[in-house]
Structure 1
Amino acid sequence: VGRSAASASQQQKQRSNSDADDASSIHLAGPSHRGSAGDMLVSDLANLLEETVQLLERLAEVHSTNKKKSIFLINNYDQVLCIFQERRVAGKEVNRFAELLLQQRELFVEEELLQGFSKMIAFVQQTEGQFARSAAGQEKKADVNQAVVEGLVREFATSWKQNIELINRNVLSYFSNFRNGMEILKQVLTQLLLYYTRFQDIIRKVYRGKPPAFSKDLVSTTVILAEIKKYALSI
């Protein structure tokens, strides 16, 4: 009887150890399985994100101009980010759309400024390029046409206020999110001020110590900034 009891006890102990081993195996396998499913989910979400981006880009192509494409993408990227913010989403998905929004804002800024200041912007970019190449010895000293400069100075002096007012109306009508629109307006007007400052720098370089007669028509950047503040409340 004693041997039978001992044998039964030993068998029960072996079964208990076996059950414990099985439980341990299941426990160890669990996280690995969940990790695999998690990886698949992350991969699916990443694919969904890229598919969404590509869909928006395809839909943007329906619009006829680069400016309209940017407006469409800005509104949609901003809407996605607003939803992320409401749902407290954080991570690379948010960063991805934030980067796309920033890129499209920069493109829109340049497109919007071309509407009223295209000649001055083209002059600044071309002349700065000539200065850079001349400094590098790639071409002779930059030659600036005084009549062209004078025309640009007077054109800006007579139209800059009206063009800023037009920019303000455009931006506020293009973007459904007021906060987003105000940030873009600030960006557009700040870029305009930078372009005009660069334009004045070119004039100073060309006419060192001998300001031309049309210099009196140059608009002070302080005056421009004061006007900008009337529209861009956050500046």
Structure 2
Amino acid sequence: MRNKLEQLQLNNLFPFVDSIIMILWPRFKSLLDVQMGTVRSANASALISEGCEKYPHHVTRRYAELTASLIQLRNAASAEMLDHSLNFMRSEIDSLMIRMSHCFKNFLRQHIFIINQVDAIITTYVDRSLPADCQTFFHQKLESEINIFVEEELVERFGPIVKFVQQFEDMSDKPGAGTGAGAGAGAGGVCKIPLSTAAPLVQGFASSWKKGIESINLDVMGSFHNMKTGMEILKRTLTQLLLYYTRFLDAVKKHCAESGTLSRDMVNIPSIIAEIKKYSRTF
């Protein structure tokens, strides 16, 4: 407003405008505090309905629109006061999203809910061309939630392979470790994988991997309202699956003395990549 008055050569109105701002700001802040008090005291379970984890909640949309408008109106004079309120609002909505997510008993659905809410906020901010620093918190939160979802989705569909790789690699990092994940420490502390452990994993994957990839595709593409985000999550999930299986094969071939007897049951990497490309064209 000061810039506009200066352009109109009405500098003598500066004191009047300043006094109006001093009167209005405390009232405006009290309205924001009341709004956030309502968010803080909200009954999370009452806001949840069946299937709502797959879409942006109306509370999230209202928060995104309100804060986007406030950020657009922000200027150097109001920055300090407004930033304090914006940080407070962000903290409260983040807390509410977490409380609401806990209303879902299924761990994956909890993270699906948060991903959809955070993604909706980011989309609103991007559509309004807001500065990148206003989006940093939500981008970091989205990244963290997606990473958790990817791991949990793979455990859901390919649990034996994922858990074996994690436990085997953890044990391999500990010289002289005992047994774990069906593997034992051989001469010099090198982990050995018995055939009785490797065979069921290799054969189990060979019999179910295509169905597992199809199920991942259905899970992911049916869980996220933003198609672009859904495709990115699908790509990352399938990429992580490929990495886990590559590490699994590497471990078996190097540390299972009888791995040659399993070679005909091992799914080759090009076959998996070809199957993945049916679902993720950007892979």
* Counterpart AA for 1:64: K
Which residues of 2 match residues 18-57 of structure 1 at below 5 A? 37-57=78-98
SS in 2 for 1:175: coil
Q: 1:94 aligns with which of 118, 129, 135?
A: 135
What's the % identity of the aligned pairs?
A: 34
Do structure 1's residue 228 and structure 2's residue 269 form an aligned pair?
no
Equivalence for 1:214? 262
* Counterpart AA for 1:204: K
Give 1:152 shift.
0.4
Equivalence for 1:171? 220
Equivalence for 2:158? 117
Give 1:37 shift.
4.0
- The CA deviation string for residues 20-75 of structure 1, in whole angstroms up to 9 with x for no partner, is xxx8xx7xx99xx9966431111111111121111111111111122111000000
SS in 2 for 1:163: helix
**TM-score by structure 1 length?**
0.80
Measured in 1, the distance between the counterparts of 2:136 and 2:259 equals: 48
Equivalence for 1:132? 173
SS in 1 for 2:174: helix
* Counterpart AA for 1:108: F
SS in 1 for 2:267: coil
SS in 1 for 2:135: helix
Equivalence for 1:202? 251
Unaligned runs of 5+ in 1: 1-22
Do structure 1's residue 152 and structure 2's residue 201 form an aligned pair?
yes
CA RMSD of aligned residues (A): 2.2
Aligned residues: 205
Give 1:180 shift.
0.7
Measured in 1, the distance between the counterparts of 2:227 and 2:281 equals: 12
- The CA deviation string for residues 95-132 of structure 1, in whole angstroms up to 9 with x for no partner, is 11011001000000011111221111111111112211
Check the 8 A contact 1:154/1:217 in 2, yes or no: yes
Equivalence for 1:11? none
Equivalence for 1:13? none
* Counterpart AA for 1:216: R
Choose 119-128 or 187-196, whichever is displaced more: 119-128
**TM-score by structure 2 length?**
0.67
Check the 8 A contact 1:49/1:93 in 2, yes or no: no
* Counterpart AA for 2:232: E
Do structure 1's residue 68 and structure 2's residue 109 form an aligned pair?
yes
Structure whose alpha-carbon radius of gyration is higher: 1
Runs of 4+ in 1 over 6 A off after TM superposition: none
SS in 2 for 1:39: helix
Equivalence for 1:20? none
Which residues of 2 match residues 180-195 of structure 1 at below 5 A? 180-195=229-244
Measured in 1, the distance between the counterparts of 2:209 and 2:177 equals: 35
Unaligned runs of 5+ in 2: 1-11, 23-74, 179-188
* Pair 1:138–1:118, CA change in 2 (3 A): closer
